[in-house]
Amino acid sequence: EIKVTLVEIEEPTGPFGARGVAEPAMVATAPSIANAVYDALGVRIETMPLTKERVLKAVKQSKKIQELMK
C-alpha cells in the first residue's frame, strides 16, 4: 500500500515553486514487474534493472539449488 501525501510548500529550486508530482506513480512499477517474474518463473530477483541476463542467471541458479536439494 502506498500512501501519497501532497506537500503544498513551494520548492525554491523548481520552476515557479513547483514540485514533482509524477514520481509516486512510478514507485511501484519495478517491484510489480519483479513480482510478475516471480509469479511466472518462481524466481525472486531483487536487483534492478531486471535484465534478461539476470533473469536467466537466476533461473539457472534456482535449478541448481533444486537439484542439490534432491
Q: Judge contact between 49 and 29, C-beta under 8 A.
A: no
23 is known as an active-site residue: yes
Of 1, 8, 11, 23, the active-site residue reads 23
Catalytic residues: 23
